[in-house]
Amino acid sequence: MANEAITAEASGTWTLGDLVVNRVGFGAMRLPQQGAAFDVDAVPSDRDRAIGVLRRARELGVNHIDTAAFYFSRLRSANELINSALAPYPDDLVITTKVGPGRDPSGAWQPHATPGQLRGQVEENLRQLGRDCLDVVNLRIVGTDSIAERFGALAELREAGLVRHLGLSNVGPDQLAEARAIAPVVCVQNSYGPGSPPEQDALVRSCGEQGIAFVPFYAIAGAGREAGVLSGADGDALLAVARAHGVSTAQVRLAWTLHRGPHVLAIPGTGDLDHLADNVAAGALRLSDDDLVALDALRGGGVV
């Protein structure tokens, strides 16, 4: 599958609240560093190269970028790179950010913000991105406790005009229901991919029924990532599908997630221009019914 002429428009669109986005977007998590994300000892990325990737993403029709203030290395900040590369922002560009976890100036993790700290995190994203209002803010959850107080704090910021739409990250169905009783939820961002257990399909399906975007992360995860890795005979089956289409296994993984429903979006991240083109091109990959049956069989069924 030639990538040169393929843009994000080929993936179709979805609406986050009142914001229309192409279903293939871009995740900024890996931009600030080389190697593993969130490793405080990672080598900072090349700034010009990172900015070039962001600008090329826009040229390829990407209008949905996922980021967070806690995406940074010793010398680089994803938000600062986005601001430098793309501001003044095009009218059609939607930037989704996350709050909840935090990192101190040394890069050390802090598990989650209190309701009172969330305003500071929202304001930090506003400053770094150079915006007066954030398009979408996801509350990133750690654990299974009640989220009512924290999500309620974000709902107040939405009412105050600092945030346009709200979403959730790393949640279960009970937490989604709890949040929706407080304010509208436009997206759920969870770990999900071909290596995920079939029981996760229920939440994907539920989001579609409620008109909520489902946005997988780690959809093309490598070893040790939460989405799971197919190996051995399973990996061979994935490779067979990829070879039949003349694409990479990473592109098949992305295409598989997009086939789970029209409400499923993709936010693959990379610091490499060639990988960026491949990721965007995956939005045009149409898997056959036989392909989908073969890939679903790797998970024990679970077709949505």
What tens digit of pLDDT does each residue of 38-81 get?
Answer: 666 778 889 999 999 999 999 999 999 999 999 988 889 999 99
CB atoms within 10 A of CB 5: 8
Q: Give the containing element (helix H, strand E) for 257.
A: helix 249-258
Look up residue 243 and give its two tokens: 């070879």
Q: CA 80 → CA 39, 54, 60, 85, 250, distances in Å? A: 19, 12, 21, 8, 28
Close Cβ partners of 120 (under 8 Å, ≥ 6 residues apart):
113
Nearest to 171 by CA among 159, 180, 161: 180
Query: Which of residues 134 and 296 earns the better pLDDT score?
Result: 134
Distance CA 252, CA 159 (A): 41
Dihedral sign for Cα 53, 57, 63, 64, please.
negative
- pLDDT of res. 2: 59
Angle between the 289-297 and 232-245 helix axes, to the nearest 10 degrees?
170
Single-letter amino acid code for the residue at 243: R
Least confident span in 14-18, 101-105, 259-263: 101-105
pLDDT for position 225: 44
Alpha carbon of 210 to those of 70, 185, 206, 263: distances in Å? Answer: 30, 10, 6, 10
Q: Which residues pair with 44 in a beta bridge?
A: 33
Distances (CA, A) of 221 to 15, 55, 227, 282, 303: 26, 24, 6, 15, 21
Which stretches does DSSP call E strand in 108-226?
109-110, 134-140, 163-169, 187-189, 213-214
CA-CA distance, 109 to 105, in Å (whole number)? 10
Alpha carbon of residue 73 to chain centroid: 19
**pTM of this prediction?**
0.92
Per-residue pLDDT, averaged over 183-197, amounts to: 92
Q: Quick one: pLDDT at residue 1?
A: 58
Task: State yes or no: is 71 an active-site residue.
Answer: yes
**Which residues does residue 189 pair with via DSSP β-bridges, in sequence order?**
169
Q: What is the distance between the alpha carbons of residues 63 and 16, in angstroms, rounded to a whole number?
A: 12
CB-based burial label for 166 (10 Å; 0-12, 13-18, 19+): buried
Among candidates 280, 219, 218, which has minimal Cα distance to 53? 280
Q: pLDDT at residue 223 above 50?
A: no
* Average pLDDT across the chain, whole number: 90
Is residue 215's pLDDT more than 50?
Answer: yes
Q: Tell me the pLDDT tens digit for each residue of 83-106.
A: 999 999 999 999 999 999 987 777
The CA distance from 157 to 166, in Å, is: 10
Q: Which two tokens stand for residue 214?
A: 């489902």
pLDDT in tens, 135-147: 999 999 988 889 9
Q: What is the pLDDT of residues 125-181, one digit of tens each?
A: 999 999 999 999 999 998 888 999 999 999 999 999 999 999 999 999 999 999 999
**Ramachandran quadrant class, 109 (left: phi over 0; alpha: psi -120 to 50; beta: rest):** beta
pLDDT value for 300: 56
- Between 161 and 226, the more confident residue is 161
Question: What is the pLDDT, as a whole number, of residue 218?
Answer: 80
Q: CATH for 21-189?
A: 3.20.20.100
Give the Cβ contact number of residue 263 at 10 Å.
Answer: 21
